[in-house]
Amino acid sequence: MSQEFRFQLHCADQSCSARRATFFTPHGPVETPAFMPVGTQGTVKGIELDRLRETGAHMILANTYHLATRPGEETVVALGGLHKFTGWEGPILTDSGGFQLYSLANCAKATEDEVRFRSHIDGRLLALSPERAVAIQEALGSDVAMVLDHVVALPNKPEKVRDACERTIRWAARCQKAATRRDQALFAIVQGGLDLELRVECARQLAEMDFIGYAVGGLSVGEEPVEMYKTLDAVCPAMPYEKPRYLMGVGRPIDLLEGVRRGIDLFDCVMPTRNGRNASAFTDAGPLRLRNKQFTRDDRPIEEHCPCPACRRSRGYIRHLFMAKEMLGPMLLAVHNITYYQRLMRDARAAIETNSFMEFYARRVAGWAGA
């Protein structure tokens, strides 16, 4: 394995499975546990790069299906690759397009060989095989590529979940075989729905293949949060201890802490940016819906001591921006929410370092519950 992707463990919390590490990539280190903002189409919606950097984010996401569909990976290559194309000089992880099998289910069909997408833009066919998913990600030039996986909605028929899980393992092997870049890490994805035995078996088989990192996929796709936590209880110990663990697509602030205490190192989620665009701001006292009338003359910032640009204004002003449909409203709350998520993770890292993660966890949970 390339020395470029060293995962250096610093310490582990004694009261839970949380651990503190640094994940090295060709575009810089990522301090974990970490939250990665989602920039599906090569932009974290509504946030300029320097603003994004100021939130404390190290690594961001982009999406294989979306970039292959538009502008096309050849165009990204022609414009210098993903980093030059987007201007983001830090690490980038590309999702494989497996999630679009779930989110764009109407336009996608999975066979044993590949996923066939009818483009949601112009109806053109995009055939995404495991090999093609790797080739596109290598062309894009992300630091971390994800294997193509088969994501199914939950709840689902046991045989569908099992099929998707077993196919994901076969596809992982094909992706691994197809990968050629030494400066790009390939992460495997554990599937298996809520079937704990299937999950553990999937993790065990993938672990034997020796990937650089391991992800848990197929969660927060319709199941109850407690079911997700139970699944993590089973899966996390089955994933290699000395490699990065990434919980895909999760989640709310509470979900991040639930993940961290079970030994997850990396997270991504659209929630801070999407909910921000929809006027919802995260705080230690729970979310504020800033379109609500109660904020009309509220002269306080969203959160005291928050250093973000939104918190240099009043809640009343931000409500005004949303009511007037000014684009600055969504932009400010996207930055605030990413700043909030980054602070949450930074505080979590500090708590692990002082061996007090569960105290930190209890304090935050109590705050969100309004205690």
Site residues, RNA (CB under 7 A): 38-40, 44-45, 61, 63, 66, 95-96, 98-100, 102-104, 106-107, 120-121, 146, 149, 151, 189, 215, 217-218, 220-221, 225, 248-252, 255, 268-271, 273-275, 277-280, 289, 291-294, 296, 323, 325, 327, 330
For RNA, give the closer residue by CB, 348 or 359.
348
CB of 37 to RNA, least distance (A): 7
Three-class HEC string of the chain = CCHHHCEEEEEECCCCCCEEEEEEECCEEEEECEEEEECCCCCCCCCCHHHHHHCCCCCEEEEHHHHHHCCCHHHHHHCCHHHHHHCCCCCEEEECCCCHHHHCHHHEEECCCCEEEECCCCCCEEEECHHHHHHHHHHHCCCEEECCCCCCCCCCCHHHHHHHHHHHHHHHHHHHHHCCCCCCEEEEEECCCCCHHHHHHHHHHHHHCCCCEEEECCCCCCCCHHHHHHHHHHHHHHCCCCCCEEECCCCCHHHHHHHHHCCCCEEEECHHHHHHHCCEECCCCCCEECCCHHHCCCCCCCCCCCCCHHHHCCHHHHHHHHHCCCCHHHHHHHHHHHHHHHHHHHHHHHHHHCCCHHHHHHHHHHHHCCC
For RNA, give the closer residue by CB, 293 or 305.
293
For RNA, give the closer residue by CB, 25 or 137.
137
CB of 28 to RNA, least distance (A): 20
CB of 116 to RNA, least distance (A): 15
CB of 14 to RNA, least distance (A): 27
For RNA, give the closer residue by CB, 166 or 355.
166
CB of 11 to RNA, least distance (A): 27
For RNA, give the closer residue by CB, 127 or 327.
327
* Residues carrying an active site annotation: 95, 268
